[in-house]
A and B are shown apart, each in its own frame.
Chain A
Amino acid sequence: MSLKSKDLLGMQHLTFEEINSVITSAKSFMEIATRPIKKVPVLRGKTVANLFFEPSTRTRISFELAARRLSADVINIPALISSAASGETLTDLAKTIEAMTVDFIVVRHSMAGAPHQLARQIKSSVINAGDGSHEHPTQALVDLYTTKEKKGYIEGLRVAIIGDILHSRSAKSNIWGLKTMGADVVLIGPRTLIPPGLERLGVDISFSMEEGLEGVDVIILSRVEMTEENRALLPSLREYSRFYCLTEERLASAKKDVLVMHSGSMNRGVEISPQVADGAYSVIIEQVTNGVAVNMAVLYLLAGGKK
């Protein structure tokens, strides 16, 4: 088992078989977390660099833990400024990293496509840990893994993705991944937060929670914030939560065994009510545990998939 590309840049590039390999490998790595000694020598002697151009705690720690459990050496390079701001070209940056002979580079960037541009110029494997509003493939893989674990299958499930689809990289990655795996996808949110052209990917769009949640097997929420850009797109968070907050009443439209996930850090009371977040359908905390195993699987498969 391995991945075709040297990099993991986005879900739009992954095939059905590749996604399945990640899910299968992650399942075997899950077991390691239950051992007293949580370490295997899969990546001994390899170096993983966390290159974070944008602050992140969850993703960075998850990758660091995954790399350490595979016995890799980890370096964290936080708070870098963008190429444009530094006066350094992306090629300069790529050559610098290359010169340090790093095997894996985990990149988080506020600008879409930066990991792709870097990956083209470097022999090391690049993992996109979130680029602007573009993609966040490992988060989508976690959501797919969690769905598969809980439901036993993905094909034919109806999945609702709710929130700021326009700016959510996880939502975009989830759309690609879910469609590749044969799920049915409905996007729910205010019209101003749903980007154009998604019909081409074969998804349904709904501006109403009650209507959109009808018969849904899985719900994936994304974080909604009052960013500078959203000021022109959304009257207020209060208004958003009045129509789109996932409450127990709204959950009633979905299937009885619905699964509730969140692909980021929660904004309680805005996109999800505390009762639902802590309720029986929620697997939000399990997603975090699964995240480490999925990241281990990604590193392992990019390394060639040999134990």
Chain B
Amino acid sequence: MAGEGRGMFAFAEQARPQPTVFFRRGRIIDPQSGFDQVADLLVEDGIIRRVGKDLKVPAKAEVIEVGEKVLCPGLIDLHVHISEPARNDRETIRSGCSSAVAGGITSIAVRSHTDLVIDNQAVVEYLIAKSQQLGLSRLLPVGALTRRLAGEELAEMGDLAKNGVVAASDDYRSVMDSSLMRRALEYAAIYNLPVLSFCQDSSLAGDGVVNEGYVSTIMGLPGVPNIAEEVMVVRDLILARMTAHPIHLGPLTTVGSVDLVRQAREMGVAVTAETSPHYFILTDIDCREFDTFMKVEPPLRSERDLAAVQEGLAEGTIGVITSSHQPLTVVDKDTEFQSAKAGICGLETLLPLSLTYLYHNGKMSLGDLLSRMTIIPAEILHLPGGRVREKCPADVIIFDPELEYIIDPQEFFSKGKNTPFGGRSVKGKVLLTMVGGRIVFRNGELVFP
């Protein structure tokens, strides 16, 4: 195994041809160092060999003219779901990893869900082996915090860590037992395993399906109050402070959650947070016509909450943008609002939506925005990626920040077509994705070695 630290399995280089690629004159952005200049980049043996102006082109290199486009680290998505092998009709490892690279995402942190519970060695090894065989995006399994996600007993986190999980999480289920959550944090700390916590008190959320308030009332649907999230955020912050083990919360969706995390960070609590594009683009009123594509968990919130999420992102309280990728089938969605499954298929829209609604809207600089999907998630998971720097893994993308197009879910590589953003015009398109020095996606098509 190559290297130490998290992701050592996913970042172990495979026995594949490692071409020499020379990217000429691109706008290279490295969010960690703040580097943002027109320069050349040389990739050799799967790593970034050189970054600089007017570099010499090696004889054997493939030369790619980057032109006006941006060259930056490949994106790292901390919140992705796939369903293989339980529900291959929703998403397989192949369709998920294809979708990721089409979206400019070179590493996906795959979390447990009903279809896939990552609480034993066999599952972890399967995910890693299968994704490496494909050679598309890197797949970083996130182990369960509790066995079977039941919230009753600790998962074998040490064994999971040794087998290659990059973090521990029960994902969409909060561990309701506070004592168990405390022990989980203490135990995860032994293996320096970051804990990712989805914050929702299940008793306060009840059977709610939309934001509690005016919208739940006029739709006649049970609501999920903001406090269902905030109560859990508070508890997790107190536990993180007590155990002194880093915790990563989210997706955050409410004003109160953003305030709480901001205060905790000022107090020095080791907490980071994430949110997803739908929480800074859509609001609860978008559910009004009973469009099941608008059904997500936690639910879409109010205008006020949306403004707080945007502000939290801009100031850094929320350091990470994830897709919360949840691919679903027609049967899951084409049904009554209350019966429909919650979730959005998000890998291929993560970057264009973020660019359109945060960068082009003037809320964030390009470098800051990219840091939310590159270096910050890399640091949370202690990964070597997320950087455009010499000797780092050659996980890079080229995107055109000005290219406008209309989102068409039928063109997704993902099996999920469940997006409320279909038909929406966005600005910013991924043109090329390189993982470990190999071009895997280019001009709208997957590239196989």
Contact = CB atoms under 8 A, between A and B. Distances in A.
8 contacts: A82-B339, A109-B336, A112-B290, A113-B220, A132-B220, A195-B216, A196-B213, A196-B217
A251 B292 CA distance: 44
B214 interface: yes
B334 interface: yes
Given A89-B330, A90-B336, A132-B338, A112 B220 contact: yes
A213 B214 CA distance: 25
A103 interface: no
A12 B339 CA distance: 24
Contact of B221 (A84, A87, A109, A134): A134
Interface in B175-234: 212-221, 223
Nearest to B331: A89
A84 B335 contact: yes
Interface string B292-306: 100000000000000
Contacts of B213: 196-197
Nearest to A113: B290
The 7 A-B residue pairs whose C-beta atoms are closest, nearest first, are A134-B220, A197-B214, A84-B339, A113-B290, A89-B334, A133-B220, A195-B217
A205 to B, nearest CB: 12
Interface string A111-122: 111101100000
Contacts of A134: 219-221
B217 A84 contact: no
A197 B335 contact: no
A233 B265 CA distance: 37
A136 B290 CA distance: 16
A279 B213 CA distance: 38
Among B219, B220, B221, B338, the one with the most A-chain Cβ atoms within 10 Å of its Cβ is B220
Contact of B331 (A82, A87, A172, A196): A87
A90 B214 CA distance: 27
Contacts of B220: 112-113, 131-135, 169, 172
Nearest to B330: A89
B227 to A, nearest CB: 12
Contacts of B217: 172, 195-198
Contacts of A87: 331
Contact of A196 (B216, B292, B335, B336): B216
A91 interface: yes
A140 to B, nearest CB: 13
Interface in B280-334: 289-290, 292, 330-331, 334
Among B212, B219, B335, the one with the most A-chain Cβ atoms within 10 Å of its Cβ is B335
A172 B219 CA distance: 9
A160 to B, nearest CB: 18
Interface in B330-356: 330-331, 334-340
Contacts of A132: 220-221, 338
A113 B335 contact: no
B339 A83 contact: yes
A45 B330 CA distance: 36
Contacts of A169: 220
Nearest to B289: A116
Contacts of B331: 87, 89
A35 B331 CA distance: 50
Contacts of A109: 336
Interface in A89-120: 89-91, 109, 111-114, 116-117
A114 B289 CA distance: 10
Nearest to B214: A197
Contacts of A114: 336-337
B431 to A, nearest CB: 36
Contacts of A195: 216-217
Contacts of A83: 334-336, 339
Given A172-B220, A197-B214, A112 B337 contact: yes
